[in-house]
Amino acid sequence: MFAVTAPAVAGQDEILTPEAFAFLEGLEKNFGNRRRLLMTERARLQQKLDGGWNPDFIADTKHIRDADWKVRPAPADLLDRRVEITGPPDRKMVINALNSGASCFMADFEDSNTPTWENQISGQINLRDANDRAIEFKDAASGKEYKLKDKTAVLLVRPRGLHMEEKHLKLDGQFLSASFFDFGLYLFHNRTAPYYYLPKLESWQEAQLWSDVISFAEDALELPRGTVRVTVLIETITAAFQMDEILHALKDHIVGLNCGRWDYIFSYIKKFRNRADVIVPDRGSVTMTAHFLRSYSLNLIKTCHRRGAHAMGGMAAQIPIKNDEAANNAALEKVRADKTREATDGHDGTWVAHPALVPIAKEIFDKLMPQANQLDKLREDVNITAVDLLKAPEGKITEDGLRRNINIGLLYLKAWLAGNGCVPVHNLMEDAATAEISRAQLWQWRHHKAKLDDGRVIDDNFMHAMLMDEAAKLDADTYTSAAAGMFAGMVMAPVLDDFLTTKAYDWVLEDERA
């Protein structure tokens, strides 16, 4: 028996029909316990890491890495993915992104979205309407009307990660998996070209769970095997050692892997949280040219192309800087350098956060990749070892970097609590992943008493003073107060919390009920 614990929102009954509920029930009852066991396994593995264990390529699955096999070929509309744009499933955003000129648009229920009940339900409505080409939007303030062009981007959807629960909904007294909720509702209402991005996988066993969920869903809806196609974000350090195994587990459904660079950096800090020898310097200095990130990117290309899968590059988070031509040109030059590196290395496409970056990224990939993709670029010259993937980045920790982390964390969390999960801060489009880097770095520096470049020690007193000083600079309101208290509590905690969003979600739930 389902019980909705949230106040009703517009369109809810269109999405949560009795038939949709029955479909979700099948997913949760068949796979809910298995998902919970895998989350327990994550906690057990973290204990091993806390004890000094290092991940490595798995000996027991060497036969999979050594064997010759390929994934199911990509469908025609996913052969060319040279530029993808991402954003929350907001109605105006969906129209603008589909009209942006990008090859694909990833509508994001995860890191770009605050999971209020309103956002979850309206997001599903917006995507259903987009697939039906029935989506329109009129801006109440400007009167401007938004409609789809004749040619639009291919739509992909990112559900929330396996660690999240949909706490507006209970089945037999237990919360439903947020992954199954987002995945299931979208598939139930959109059975033609249902394409997904799968986030935050940490092991091939989690990929196998997803494969079984997808196959079950296809059978339940009488869809041919391989109708549902997925791209997996490699955004955890453990998954980087299991890319072959993840592709193999999902070989009937997967079309590619993606370098989820921001979450990957966050995972690197989080997994090695107890290691004083793995201190990550200022976030701004950790670019994709850092050895551990470049190694992971190159190995992803090699692994994907050997298996006939697309190797997608990472996010350019820059947004146009108005009224400062020099700063804007410098930002765009960073984008060009990043996309040139990706296309030259062999990536089959890339991500951007803003429509203005679509033509820049497309121009570079059109020049360096005139064909649909680079699956024939096997990169047999690449030979990445565990040492390469684990090598700690070098650099300084500065007061400016520390303060910027606090400022980004506070501004992002404030917006997230207010219902907006995609926030422009300091001319970058921040989402949960980039805020997580800020939070995890602050915790790491304080926990290990790291030193600033001027020799000052980042101890509890120093960090507390910095947190208070930065919070005092923000406009005071309910969301600022809640964000400041929550963020400081997580930075000063004795143990690093797994995710910022799980704790913030509980606050949002209380706010919705108020």
Integer Cα distance of 319 and 357 in angstroms = 8
Active site residue 400: no
Q: What are the DSSP calls for 244-283, one per residue? A: HHHHHHTTTTEEEEEE-HHHHHHHHHHHTTT-TT-----G
Residue 23 has φ and ψ, to the nearest 5°, of -65, -45
Active site residue 431: yes
The residue to which tokens 């690449």 are assigned: 382
Contact 446, 491 (CB under 8 A): yes
Contact 438, 481 (CB under 8 A): no
Q: Which two tokens stand for residue 298?
A: 């190159």
Burial of 59 (0-12, 13-18, 19+ CB in 10 A): exposed
Q: One of 160, 404, 431, 446 is an active-site residue; which one?
A: 431
Integer Cα distance of 324 and 329 in angstroms = 9
Q: What is the CA radius of gyration of the chain?
A: 22
The residue to which tokens 């190797």 are assigned: 311
Contact 275, 237 (CB under 8 A): no
- Encode 187-220: b = buried (16+ Cβ within 10 Å), e = exposed: bbbbeeebbbbbbbbbbbbbbbbbbebbbebbeb
Q: One of 158, 229, 341, 446 is an active-site residue; which one?
A: 158
Integer Cα distance of 478 and 79 in angstroms = 47
Integer Cα distance of 314 and 296 in angstroms = 12
Length of the chain, in residues: 514
Contact 315, 259 (CB under 8 A): no
Integer Cα distance of 226 and 218 in angstroms = 8
A 10 A CB-CB count for 81 gives: 28
Integer Cα distance of 316 and 332 in angstroms = 10
3-state SS, 31-79, equals: HHHHHHHHHHHHHHHHHHHHCCCCCCCCHHHHHHHHCCCCCCCCCHHHC
Burial of 65 (0-12, 13-18, 19+ CB in 10 A): middle
- In the β-sheet with 165-171, what is the strand arrangement from edge to edge? 2-4, 165-171, 174-177
- What's the DSSP call for residue 146? E
End-to-end, the C-alpha distance of the chain in Å comes to 26
Any idea which residues carry the catalytic annotation? 158, 431
